[in-house]
Every structure is written in C-alpha cells, then in structure tokens.
C-alpha cells in the first residue's frame, strides 16, 4: 500500500497533482506535503487528479479540505478529477460535492479553474 | 462441481489485534474485506465496510490517549456482520477535547461510519480507550 504523488505545471499558473494509490491515515501526510509545498510557493490554482486513486478516507478528505481553505484565502481554487464511483460516493455523502468542483476529466477541471 | 454454499451460522467470529499505528490500518482494512467477502455482501458494501473499519481504527489512533493496540472482532451472524473495535487507551486525548477536533475531521470519520453502516454505537470513556460497535445487514 502506497501513494504516488506527481506534481506538474499546466496551463497558466495552474498546477496538476496526480495521485495514484490509496490515501489513508498513513499516506495522507505525503499528499499534504505536496499540496502545502505548492501553496507555499504561491501556486493557488490546483487540479488534483484522483483518477488512479483506489481509496480515500477522512484523513485524505481532510488534506483536500485544508488545501482548498488555504488557496481560497488567496483567491485560488482546487478542482478534482474523479471517476471512481466509490470515491464519488464518499464526496457525495460528506457533502463535499458542494464544496469542490469534481470533474470527469482533467481538461474540464482545468477549464473550470479559469 | 458446484462450490458448497456457506452456512453463515458456521462462519463464527474472527479476531485481529493490530498495533495502534497508521501503517497497520491497511491490514485491518484487508482483513475486513476478506471477512465481508465470505458473506453475501456486494462489492460496494465490502468497500463501505473497509472504510468504516479504517475510520474506527484511525479514530482510536488519533483521538485517544495511550492506545498501543487495537482489537477488532468480526461476528458473522445469520443476518448481519457485527464489528467491534476497541482501543486499549486511557481516554480521549486532552487536545481533542480542548480544541473540539471531535467535531472537525475526526468527526468526519465518525460521520462516515454512521453513513456507511446500519447501526453504530460509539463509547468514549474518560478513563478507558474507545469502543465502537457497528453492524451491517446482509441483503437476503
């Protein structure tokens, strides 16, 4: 069990964080570090790609919520790419679908940032 | 030859003790999936049970004082799977009481458990570790 994190620059000043694996109490600090580093560098428009994430728990959700709060303080935004029905269900039952922009593909998530 | 159908009555109970550390939660999750798959749960329901177990273990680790081990017991009953998660701690962490974190992310975990399972009983004794009993019905 592990999480792979890949950060890449995209259009404009937006950055994409590709995540692959499982986000839980053990792996979420690695995700938090990657998001925190981007924000500390002044990047406030982020797309977090969860397409290859098989599992997320409340600590993972907490990391995403924390990132969103911080970028919003600077007028930025976090959009998510997610197609996994089980993960979408978690966002649905926690009400986070109303807080995050959740898209089926990266292009749509990126377009909605601007 | 057809595989024999399991009589749920004969499944009985499974017990697991894990160290109360983040890297062990995945083991509880895998065990939960193995037990649930022996019953008639759907793939989606097995995912729900895995998440509920992980949230219960995470809560024991993050929000209780002095928990060294977490005991998990799965009781396969005729119509439901009952799961008991007990941490061997000394009560809730002082900071989680002071800053009200029970209502924030920790609370999100308990909220998820309540949403995914059919019944949940959660006890936090000031003198002892947390104890959570939850169940999910097997669809006929």
Question: DSSP characters for A38-100?
Answer: HHHTT--EEEEEEEEEEEE-HHHHHHHHHHHHHHHHTT-EEEEE---HHHHHHHHHTTGGGTS
pLDDT at B35: 94
Q: What percent of chain A has pLDDT over 70?
A: 98
Instruction: Say how far residue A20 (Cα) sits from the centre of its chain.
Output: 12
Shortest CA gap B9–chain A (Å): 30
Identify which of B136, B137, B134, B138 has the alpha carbon closest to the alpha carbon of residue B59: B134
Q: Of A114 and A76, which is predicted with more confidence?
A: A76
How many angstroms separate the CA atoms of A114 and B89, rounded?
Answer: 49
Residues in chain B: 140
Shortest CA gap A90–chain B (Å): 8
| B22/A25 touch (CB, cutoff 8 Å), yes or no | yes
What is the residue extent of each domain of chain A? 3-109
Instruction: Say how far residue A36 (Cα) sits from the centre of its chain.
Output: 12
Shortest CA gap A10–chain B (Å): 31
Q: Which residues of chain B have pLDDT under 70?
A: 1-10, 91-106
Model confidence over A9-29: pLDDT tens digits? Answer: 998 889 999 999 999 999 999
Structure tokens at B63: 């929000």
Q: How many CB pairs under 8 A join A and B?
A: 56
CB A110 within 8 A of CB A77: no
The pLDDT of residue A3 is above 80: yes
Structure tokens at A34: 């990657």
Cβ-based contacts of B117 with chain A (< 8 Å): none
Residue B12 exposed, middle or buried by CB count within 10 Å (0-12, 13-18, 19+)? exposed
What is the residue extent of each domain of chain B? 13-137
Structure tokens at B49: 């049970």
CATH architecture of residue range(s) B13-137: 2-Layer Sandwich (3.30)
Whether the CA torsion B90, B92, B97, B99 is positive or negative: it is positive
pLDDT at B93: 63
Nearest residue of A to residue B22 by CA position?
Answer: A26
pLDDT at B1: 46
Mutate to test the interface with A, among B58, B102, B104, B116 (most CBs of A within 10 A): B58
| B62/A25 touch (CB, cutoff 8 Å), yes or no | yes
pLDDT at B14: 95
Of B22, B47, B55, the CB nearest to A86: B47
Element (H, E) at B133: strand B130-137
Please tell me whether the overall predicted TM-score, pTM, comes out greater than 0.95 for this model: no
Residue A85 exposed, middle or buried by CB count within 10 Å (0-12, 13-18, 19+)? exposed
pLDDT at A111: 92
Phi, psi of B87 (to 5 degrees): -100, 145
How many angstroms separate the CA atoms of B80 and A26, rounded?
Answer: 30
The domain over range A3-109 is classified in CATH as 1.10.230.10: no
Q: Is B89 helix (H, G, I), strand (E, B) or coil?
A: coil
């Amino acid at each position: 069990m592990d999480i792979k994190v890949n950060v890449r620059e995209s259009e404009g000043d937006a950055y994409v964080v590709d995540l692959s694996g499982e986000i839980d109490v053990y792996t979420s600090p690695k995700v938090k570090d990657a998001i925190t580093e981007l924000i500390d560098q002044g990047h406030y428009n982020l797309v977090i790609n969860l397409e290859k994430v098989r599992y997320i728990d409340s600590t993972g959700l907490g990391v995403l919520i924390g990132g969103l709060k911080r970028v919003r303080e600077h007028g930025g935004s976090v959009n998510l790419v997610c197609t996994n029905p089980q993960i979408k269900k978690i966002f649905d039952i926690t009400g986070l679908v109303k807080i995050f922009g959740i898209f089926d593909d990266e292009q749509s998530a990126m377009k909605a940032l601007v | 030859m057809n595989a024999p159908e399991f009589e749920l009555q004969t499944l009985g109970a499974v017990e697991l003790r894990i160290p109360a550390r983040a890297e062990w939660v995945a083991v509880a999750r895998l065990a939960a999936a193995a037990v649930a798959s022996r019953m008639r749960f759907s793939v989606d329901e097995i995912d729900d049970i895995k998440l509920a177990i992980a949230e219960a273990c995470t809560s024991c680790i993050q929000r209780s004082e002095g928990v060294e081990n977490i005991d998990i017991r799965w009781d396969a009953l005729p119509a439901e799977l009952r799961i008991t998660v007990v941490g061997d701690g000394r009560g809730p962490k002082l900071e989680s009481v002071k800053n009200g974190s029970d209502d924030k992310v920790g609370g999100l975990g308990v909220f998820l458990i309540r949403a995914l399972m059919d019944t949940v009983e959660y006890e936090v004794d000031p003198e002892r570790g947390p104890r959570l009993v939850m169940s999910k019905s097997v669809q006929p």
